[in-house]
Amino acid sequence: MYSQGLNQPTEASADSPEQARFQARIDAEDKIEPNDWMPDAYRRTLIRQISQHAHSEIVGMLPEGNWITRAPSLRRKAALLAKVQDEGGHGLYLYAAAETLGVTREELVDQLLSGKAKYSSIFNYPTLSWADIGAIGWLVDGAAIMNQIPLCRCSYGPYARAMIRVCKEESFHQRQGYEIMLTLSRGTEAQKAMAQDALNRWWWPCLMMFGPPDSASQHSDTSMQWKIKRFTNDGLRQKFIDATVPQGHFLGLTFPDPALRQDPETGHWQHGEIDWAEFKTVVAGGGFQATDRLEARRKAHDEGAWVREAALAYAAKRQARKTAA
Amino acid sequence: MSTEITPLWEVFIRSRGGLAHRHVGSLHAADATLALQAARDVYTRRGEGLSLWVVPSNAITASDPTDRDMLFEPTASKIYRHPTFYEVPDEVGHM
C-alpha cells in the first residue's frame, strides 16, 4: 500500500571512479540491476526503503482484515477480501525486490517481528467503523498511489518493476473506498455522520503519510540524486491535497482543517499546521495499535511455523527418494 | 528467526497463446508444486496468463554485467548484419 519517508540520512560521495560511473548511469536514466556495481549506501538505503514498504503492505492487511467478517454485504465483503489479498501480494513482490539486494526473507521478516524495522505510521491507527474501510481506500490508498507512481521510475530495476505491478492493482483499491464513502454520504443521517467521522480521523494521518516536511527531511537530497525518489515529501503532499479536497466536497463532507483554503492565484489548496509530534509518537510505536499489530503478525508467524517446517521436510524427503532411486 | 531458508523460485507467465513465457518475479516455496500454487496466487490475480513456469533461482546461470562490453560490443560493430547495410536501387521496389 505504501512507503513513508522514514529513511535515515545517508552519505553519498562521488570520489571513486566506480561511483562516478554509477552516478553517470543514473543521470542517463539507466536502470541499476542486482548484479551491477552500486555504492553500499545505495544498497542500504534501498533495502531499508523497500523492506519498510513491504512491511507496510503486510501490516496494512490488519486494519482492513478487521472488517472482513463485518462487511455490510456480500459485494463489499468480496471486494475487501480481494483488496486485502492484493496487499499481501504487494508485500511479497516488494520482499522479493529487497532480496535481490542480498538480504534474506527470513532476516526481513525477523526485522519486522522483532520491532527493529519500521512500517507506515498510518497502520497504527484503529479502524473503528465500517466507514473507516471507505476512508482507508479513498485516502490511504489515494496517498499511497501519489507516492508510488513516481517509484515506478525508480533507478533500481527490481523495485521499479514491482511498483509497476503494485500501481496497476492499486487503482481498484481507491475506487472501492470512494464508492463506500459515496454510498454512506448519500445514505441516512447516521451513515453520513459515520463517513464524516471517518474523514475527520483519517485526514491528518494521511497527510503525515508523505513524511516530514522538506525543511526537516535530511535524506531527500541523496535519494533524489540517486533517483530513488523523484519528488519531495511536500510536493507529493500538495498533489494529494489538490486531488482529494474536491472529491471530499463532492461527497458533501468537510475536512477537519479550519485553515484549509484554495489559493486563488495558484489554485492549490493550502492546509493548516500538521502535528508532527503525533507523527513521531506513532512512528515510534507509541499509543494506538502498534502493540496489537506486531502481536498479530507474530502470532500469525508462529502459528504458521509448523506448516513451513512440514513443507520443507516433505520436500527434503521427496528429494532424498529421488536421489536414492 | 527460522534457521532453514525456504528456496527461491523465478516465475514466468505466458500471457496469451502464441507469446513466449516472460519473467514476472520471484517467490519462496518449499517445492515445485507449492511454488506453482504460490505463483498462481501471487502473480495471476487478474487474468495475467494462460500458463506458468517456476524455475529454481539457483538453476539460472547469468552473464556478468562487467563482461557486457566484451560480450555484446561485437553485435554493435557488425553493421553488415542489418538489412539497411545493403544498397538496393529504388527501381527494384520493396525487398
SS3 B91: helix
Question: pLDDT, tens digit, for every residue of A4-40?
Answer: 444 444 455 557 888 999 999 999 999 999 989 999 9
User: What ipTM was reported for this prediction?
Assistant: 0.83
Greater pLDDT, A322 or A131 = A131
| Predicted TM-score of the model (pTM) | 0.89
Q: Find chain B residues with C-beta within 8 A of A305's C-beta.
A: 2
- Nearest by CB to B30, from A92, A305, A312: name it: A312
- Cα separation, A73 vs A108, in Å, equals 37
**Between chains, do B26 and A99 touch, taking CB under 8 Å as contact?**
yes
- Cα separation, A89 vs A103, in Å, equals 19
Q: Any chain A CB within 8 A of the CB of B60?
A: no
| Residue numbers of A between 19 and 58 with CB closer than 8 Å to B | 33, 35-37
- Distance between B39 CA and the closest CA of chain A, angstroms: 10
Q: Burial code of A91-103, b = ≥16 C-beta within 10 A, e = fewer? A: bbbbbbbbbbbeb
- Distance between B1 CA and the closest CA of chain A, angstroms: 6
- Nearest by CB to A89, from B5, B29, B45: name it: B45
- Cα separation, A319 vs A65, in Å, equals 38
| B74 pLDDT higher than 80 | no
- Cα separation, A181 vs A140, in Å, equals 13
| B24 pLDDT higher than 70 | yes
- Cα separation, A110 vs B2, in Å, equals 9
Question: pLDDT, tens digit, for every residue of A206-250?
Answer: 999 998 898 876 656 788 899 998 899 999 999 999 999 999 999
Q: Quick one: average pLDDT of A87-105?
A: 95
Strand ranges, E, within chain A? 261-262, 269-270
Q: Find chain A residues with C-beta within 8 A of B30's C-beta.
A: 308, 311-312, 314-315
Q: What share of chain B has pLDDT > 90, as a percent?
A: 66
Provide the pLDDT confidence category of residue A199 given band limits of 50, 70 and 90.
very high
Q: Find chain A residues with C-beta within 8 A of B31's C-beta.
A: 311, 314-315, 318
Which chain A residue has its CA at the smallest distance from B2's CA?
A: A106
pLDDT value, residue A208: 94
Greater pLDDT, B39 or A291 = B39
Domains (range + CATH), chain B: 8-61 (3.10.20.520)
Length of chain B: 95
Q: How far is CA A217 from CA A119, A154, A285, B38, in A?
A: 17, 19, 20, 39
Q: Find chain B residues with C-beta within 8 A of A308's C-beta.
A: 2, 6, 30
| A107 pLDDT higher than 90 | yes
